[in-house]
């Protein structure tokens, strides 16, 4: 997939949603890096699926857009169509729920997702876990202090989701990479 009009539009909207925000770090990097990485991961495994790549770039916009310029699923559907909005909805969390409930629901959803939704969720996790690994590898204890509920609790949630992917779609092309980076993260437990 090339730099299409839809992909350009998705990048502009994602940039608006993440403007001025930083990823939890160290290091402190612009939040827009994550959705762009997710889009690139998806372009690698499904290079001809423009809707999936666009959804990857937009996957956090509903959760992360500021209140004064909220991006809604309805707006995404109007701009990009039902398929893109549906994929974004499949990974969007209700931020009013507790962290624990959001993580449990995220795992439960995997059992209901179609292949593109699972790829989107895997790409999101892969980007997050790679960033986490790089942070822990470079900053050690300072990076571990980011986890208010504890690094081990967060790792249990990732383990549950990886197990769900393995149960539902063991041939998922992103699963080997996900297992690899998760395995490398275990050394920090």
Read off the pLDDT of residues 116-167 as tens digits, 9 standing for 90 and up. Answer: 999 999 999 999 999 999 999 999 888 888 778 889 999 999 999 999 999 9
Considering the candidates 50, 51, 60, 64, report the single residue annotated as catalytic. Answer: 64
The structure's pTM equals 0.96
63 counts as catalytic: yes
Please tell me the predicted confidence (pLDDT) of residue 96: 86
Please tell me the predicted confidence (pLDDT) of residue 20: 93
Please tell me the predicted confidence (pLDDT) of residue 117: 98
CA angle 75, 9, 177 (to 5 degrees): 95
Considering the candidates 63, 83, 160, 180, report the single residue annotated as catalytic. Answer: 63
Identify whether the C-beta of residue 9 lies closer than 8 Å to the C-beta of residue 26: no
Please list, in sequence order, all residues whose beta carbon lies within 8 angstroms of the beta carbon of residue 86, skipping any fewer than 6 positions away. none
- Cα(49)–Cα(10) distance, rounded to whole angstroms? 14
20-53 burial, b at 16+ Cβ within 10 Å, e below that, comes to: eeebeebeeeebbebbbbbbebbbebbeebbbbb
Range of the domain at 10: 5-188
20 sits in the region (left: phi over 0; alpha: psi -120 to 50; else beta) called: left
142 counts as catalytic: no
Identify whether the C-beta of residue 29 lies closer than 8 Å to the C-beta of residue 135: no
Domain count, the chain: 1
Read off the pLDDT of each residue in 83-104 and give the average, rounded to a whole number. 94
- Cα(64)–Cα(22) distance, rounded to whole angstroms? 11
Please tell me the predicted confidence (pLDDT) of residue 50: 98
- Could you give the dihedral angle defined by the CA atoms of residues 124, 130, 131 and 137, in that order, rounded to the nearest 10 degrees? 160
Whether the pLDDT of residue 170 is over 70: the answer is yes
DSSP class of 22: B
Whether the pLDDT of residue 9 is over 80: the answer is yes
First vs last Cα of the chain: how many Å apart?
39
Please tell me the predicted confidence (pLDDT) of residue 4: 96
Whether the pLDDT of residue 1 is over 80: the answer is no
CATH code where residue 85 lies: 1.10.3210.10
- The model's pLDDT over 36-82, given as tens digits with 9 standing for 90+, comes to 999 999 999 999 999 999 999 999 999 999 988 899 999 999 999 99
Read off the pLDDT of each residue in 26-33 and give the average, rounded to a whole number. 94
């Amino acid at each position: 997939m090339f730099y299409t009009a839809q992909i350009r539009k998705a990048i502009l909207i994602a940039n608006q949603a993440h403007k001025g925000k930083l990823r939890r770090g160290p290091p402190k990097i612009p939040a827009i890096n994550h959705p762009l990485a997710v889009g690139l991961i998806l372009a690698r495994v499904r290079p001809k699926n423009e809707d999936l790549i666009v959804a990857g770039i937009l996957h956090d916009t509903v959760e992360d857009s500021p209140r004064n310029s909220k991006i809604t699923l309805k707006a995404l559907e109007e701009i990009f169509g039902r398929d893109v909005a549906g994929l974004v909805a499949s990974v969007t969390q209700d931020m009013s729920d507790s962290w624990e409930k959001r993580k449990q629901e995220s795992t439960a959803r995997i059992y209901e997702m179609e292949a593109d939704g699972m790829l989107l969720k895997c790409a999101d996790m892969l980007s997050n876990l790679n960033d986490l690994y790089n942070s822990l590898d470079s900053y050690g204890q300072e990076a571990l202090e980011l986890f208010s509920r504890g690094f081990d609790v967060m790792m249990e949630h990732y383990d549950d989701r990886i197990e769900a992917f393995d149960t539902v779609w063991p041939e998922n092309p992103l699963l080997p990479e996900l297992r690899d980076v998760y395995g490398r993260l275990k050394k920090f437990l």
